[in-house]
Amino acid sequence: MSSDPRPQLGRLGEQLAAEHLVRRGFQIVERNYRTRWGELDIVAFDGRTLAFCEVKTRRASRSGVAPLEAVRSHKRARVRRMAGRWLIERPDRPYAQNLRFDAIGVILDRSDRLVRLEHLEGAF
pLDDT in tens, the chain (124 residues): 567 777 889 999 999 999 999 999 999 999 999 999 999 999 999 999 999 999 999 998 766 678 888 888 999 999 999 999 999 999 999 999 999 999 999 999 999 999 999 999 999 8
Strand ranges of the sheet holding 27-35, from the earlier edge strand across to the other edge: 27-35, 38-45, 49-59, 98-108, 114-120
The amino acid at 16:
L
Q: Which CATH class is domain 6-120?
A: alpha beta
Contact 123, 103 (CB under 8 A): yes
Dihedral sign, CA of 10, 83, 34, 52?
Answer: positive
Which of 122, 68, 78 is CA-nearest to residue 99? 122
The amino acid at 44:
A
